[in-house]
Amino acid sequence: MRTRIINKLIQRAQKDPRVFLVTGDAGYGVLDEYQRRFPHRFLNLGVAEQNMMSFSAGLALAGYKVFLYNIIPFLLYRAYEQLRDDICYQRLAVTLIGIGSGFTYAPQGMTHYSLEDISLALTIPNLVILSPSDPYEAESCMEFAFRSNKPVYIRIAKSAEPLIHTRPVADVRLSLVVKKGRDVAVLFHGSIASEVMDACQDLEYEPTLISMPMLRPVNFLALKRQLRGIHTIITVEEHFVQGGLGSILEEWIIRKNLPFQLKKLGVKNEFVHRINNTAGMRQAYGICQRHIREAIIKAFLKKDV
């Protein structure tokens, strides 16, 4: 997804002289081509994240279409105040490209994990939140960001995530039905999509699979239509179980008094002291394909009983 996003940025910069890319001492290698082609619209402001955010706000006020690239903890956590006050309060069209969602940077530890970024981003008004599940969705997220006149946060992993769609995605503002099934729906976002797809391989039951690339705002009206005939929703995310997609849907179900049962799969809200690779961390926190598969089967069996 990361390569697709940067390629889209390069294509846009060729056409639009307003495009400006800022990084905070990250992206070596992947940003080299952009830097070579557009040296006067690229800045590496170093390990000075708050300054990076405020500087980007100034560029936006000067008329540039700014894209800000960094690892999520350094992009969103360290510069929260500047994002809140300098960019979102003024509703500036700055796009944050956050790398390293969830356990991407395992086993580097808690300082590099991004398990609470959605819940943190949800506290800031005016900020659109995008979490693409595959390269097609990532490209569509960039197309949305190019058109947006609001602040946008795009969170991605950093590897060659597999495709879950067979063709480009037209509109990431909608929840995307990857596979139509019955009774049970699995809703997910981000690179955990690969675990969801693997969990449903050769499965006796056929749940509806829905990718949710846009986490704010959610088009609940369209989602409700897609969930017609569904009795149980399972959310899967490489994020704290409280404060992410599961909580967004839980609030909606309660607010609208909807008849869905909800099962949330995510990371327990706690400091992570465990050390392992990404696959091992997913297994430890119950969001690997085995746990997802078990949750789906249990949901179907509960209905059958």
pLDDT of residue 160: 80
Beta bridge pairs of residue 240: 267
pLDDT of residue 302: 83
Record the tokens describing residue 7, joined without a space: 């390629």
Instruction: Return the SS3 of 121.
Output: helix
How far apart are alpha carbons 248 and 251 in whole angstroms? 5
φ/ψ of residue 184, rounded to 5: -120, 135
Which region holds residue 102: left if phi is over 0, alpha if psi is between -120 and 50, else beta?
left
User: In this model, does residue 301 exceed pLDDT 80?
Assistant: yes
How far apart are alpha carbons 77 and 81 in whole angstroms? 9
pLDDT of residue 103: 97
Give the percent of the chain with pLDDT over 70: 99
Average pLDDT over residues 5-27: 97
User: In this model, does residue 182 exceed pLDDT 60?
Assistant: yes
Interval 222-272: pLDDT, tens: 999 999 999 999 999 999 999 999 999 999 999 999 999 999 999 999 999
pLDDT of residue 73: 97
User: In this model, does residue 304 exceed pLDDT 60?
Assistant: no
pLDDT band at 101 (very low <50, low <70, confident <90, very high): very high
pLDDT of residue 155: 98
User: What average pLDDT is seen over the chain?
Assistant: 96
User: In this model, does residue 296 exceed pLDDT 50?
Assistant: yes
Element (H, E) at 218: none
The dihedral of CA 144, 145, 150, 151: what is its sign?
positive
**Domains of the chain, with CATH numbers?**
2-156 (3.40.50.970), 176-304 (3.40.50.920)
Pairing of strands 65-71, 94-99: parallel
pLDDT band at 305 (very low <50, low <70, confident <90, very high): very low
Residue type, 155: R
Interval 138-148: pLDDT, tens: 999 999 999 99
Average pLDDT over residues 212-225: 98
For the ranges 2-6, 37-41, 300-304, which has the lowest average pLDDT? 300-304
pLDDT of residue 159: 80
Distances (CA, A) of 289 to 114, 149, 188, 265, 277: 20, 38, 13, 11, 15
pLDDT of residue 303: 65
How far apart are alpha carbons 93 and 66 in whole angstroms? 7
pLDDT band at 41 (very low <50, low <70, confident <90, very high): very high
Average pLDDT over residues 170-195: 97
User: In this model, does residue 87 exceed pLDDT 50?
Assistant: yes
pLDDT of residue 288: 98
